[in-house]
Amino acid sequence: MSLQYVKGPRADCSKYMDLNEGWIDRRIFWEKDIYEQELYQIFARCWLFVAHESQIPNSGDFLTTYMGEDNVIIVRQKDGSINGFLNSCPHRGNRVCFADTGNARRFVCNYHGWSFNTAGALQGVHEEYCYDEGDLDKQSCGLKQVAQIDSYKGLIFATFDEEAPSLDQYLGDFRWYLDMLLDNEEGGTELIGGCINSVIDANWKFGVENFVGDAYHAGWTHDSGARAMNNGEPFPPVDMNNSYHASINGHGWEFGMEGVGDIGLLGRPRVMEYYNDIRPKMAERLGEVRSKIFGSVASSSVFPNMSFLPGIHTIRTWLPKGPTQLELRTWVIVNKNMPAEIKDDITKGVMCTFGPGGSFEMDDGENWENCTKVNAGVIARHQKLHYRCGINRKIDNPDMPGTMYLGQYNDANQRLFYERWRDMMNSQSWSDIPDRYAQKLDGRETRDIHNIKVA
């Protein structure tokens, strides 16, 4: 029982930006029609982060989240695999699950009592005798499944588009960067301490573009927080000749090479010692370059709406709630094999910095709320926004994958995020979407290119 919706662009979104000149139109941050187009063209097609494997370890473990504005249930199956489906009853559309997380053998709808097993199939129908033969084909009345679901080193992604490329292709060489967070030590990662939700009256893209590349705001917006965490000292100046923006098809990682800035920000000396101890092993595992990058002042986003601060150990997703509101969900991510006291130190460090009462978290939301609101003014909306920083600093760096720009203070990753956004918004099918970055890894294991030198 599925109805076809018309795929394809409604409006040409090229007019909203000139990335060679470095400007963006303010309407993309609040206009309803553009937002509707995003729900179809981006959120109904891209691979979206839905869960970490550690959140649903056992058969029947589930959580609910959103893909675009559609609520979905992600559930561990009896055979250990993971499935995802719409949290919406095919009868009248009610939710079949109201919990954020839990363990279930079935999901029962409150309205007329239809029940579904953990594979999403319709199992029980209350007072089934009311249906005549031929009225109800149970087989076709299961919960609508996601088209594809897959995981990369613990992170589970799903897409509603059966034509989307594989997750590995979608992430491409960005896995080289992701591995610094997900695979820097034997045993992989886990999320600990639950999920923190907050609602911000801002367009979802402001969160993502901030994390994909906006190192520039940190020294100003977060100055008081930095001083509070660092004995009154401000953030040290950025080394513009040894820091980078790297972008791969809209995913981006901006980073320094000093290796300790973000870990230090946690304010927990034991965590720093821990990483100093494991760094030689990390170098064997991931190579010299990445062992030096990990822990540096850095931030990152996976297109379209997942972000993280690798050295600060927070991961997050920016769920769209209309053009002018987002729901932020954040978690603490740690290495599974860390001793309990290091995990505990990291959790406290995250709460002091990027928790809801942390010294940095609250600084950003207010800025994004004002950007969203002010950009809608009838005069303001006709003024372009400036995205030109570092536009001529493109470099060729043979040691790292991605389209690279020199200098952490840069709008490069933001421009390339919006380029991907425009490509997705304008395309009829995946084959129309240009691969803007030719993979260096070329299908090899991401670890294969580890013996490269620091630039």
DSSP secondary structure code for residue 132 in this structure: P
Residue 262 binds Fe ion (CB under 5 A): no
d(CA 24, CA 73) in angstroms, rounded, equals 36
Which is nearer to ligand FES, 105 or 112 (by Cβ)?
Answer: 112
Cis peptide before 90 (omega within 30 of 0): no
Active site annotation includes 126:
no
Active site annotation includes 214:
yes
Please identify, among the stretches 76-84, 356-364, 370-378, 430-438, the one whose residues bind Fe ion according to the rule CB under 5 A. 356-364
CB 309 within 8 A of CB 207: no
Catalytic residue among 179, 214, 262, 345: 214
Active site annotation includes 100:
no
Which is nearer to ligand FES, 98 or 111 (by Cβ)?
Answer: 111
Among 81, 99, 105, 111, binds ligand FES (CB under 6 A): 111
Which is nearer to ligand FES, 109 or 202 (by Cβ)?
Answer: 109
Contacts of 165 (CB under 8 A, 6+ apart): 430
Residue 91 binds ligand FES (CB under 6 A): yes
| Smallest separation, CB 365 to Fe ion (Å) | 9
What length is written for the chain?
Answer: 455
Contacts of 329 (CB under 8 A, 6+ apart): 65, 195, 196, 197, 316, 317, 319
Residue 173 binds Fe ion (CB under 5 A): no
Among 67, 109, 315, 412, binds ligand FES (CB under 6 A): 109
Which is nearer to ligand FES, 10 or 105 (by Cβ)?
Answer: 105
Residue 92 binds ligand FES (CB under 6 A): yes
Catalytic residue among 364, 411, 423, 450: 364
Residue 114 binds ligand FES (CB under 6 A): yes
Give the Cβ contact number of residue 151 at 10 Å. Answer: 15
Residue 131 binds ligand FES (CB under 6 A): no
Beta bridge partners of 334: 190
Residue 98 binds ligand FES (CB under 6 A): no
| Smallest separation, CB 329 to Fe ion (Å) | 17
Lookup result for tokens 């200098």: 407
Residue 125, token pair as written in the block = 């129908």
CA 426 to chain centroid: 22
Among 364, 369, 419, 423, binds Fe ion (CB under 5 A): 364
Active site annotation includes 217:
yes
Total interface residues for Fe ion by CB under 5 A: 1
| Smallest separation, CB 1 to ligand FES (Å) | 13
Among 28, 44, 73, 89, binds ligand FES (CB under 6 A): 89
Total interface residues for ligand FES by CB under 6 A: 9
d(CA 161, CA 157) in angstroms, rounded, equals 12
Please identify, among the stretches 110-118, 180-188, 236-244, 287-295, the one whose residues bind ligand FES according to the rule CB under 6 A. 110-118
Residue 58, token pair as written in the block = 């056992």
Phi, psi of 234 (to 5 degrees): -75, 175
CB 194 within 8 A of CB 17: no
DSSP notation for 403-436: EEEESSS-SHHHHHHHHHHHHHHH-SSGGGS---
| Smallest separation, CB 349 to Fe ion (Å) | 16
Among 59, 94, 325, 427, binds ligand FES (CB under 6 A): 94
| Smallest separation, CB 126 to ligand FES (Å) | 7
Which is nearer to ligand FES, 96 or 229 (by Cβ)?
Answer: 96
Positions 389 through 408 that interact with Fe ion (CB under 5 A): none
DSSP secondary structure code for residue 144 in this structure: P
| Smallest separation, CB 363 to Fe ion (Å) | 6
| Smallest separation, CB 8 to Fe ion (Å) | 36
Strands in 189-200's sheet, in edge-to-edge order, are 189-200, 326-335, 314-320, 306-309, 298-302, 251-256, 243-248, 403-406, 394-395
Catalytic residue among 33, 168, 217, 382: 217
Strands in 48-52's sheet, in edge-to-edge order, are 48-52, 155-159, 148-152
Active site annotation includes 450:
no
Per residue, what are the HEC states of 197-243? EEEECCCHHHHHHHHHHCHHHHHHHCHHHHHHHCCCCCCCCCCCCCE
Q: Interface residues with Fe ion (CB under 5 A)?
A: 364
Residues found near ligand FES in the complex (CB under 6 A): 89, 91-92, 94, 109, 111-114
Residues annotated as catalytic (active site), given as ranges? 112, 214, 217, 222, 364
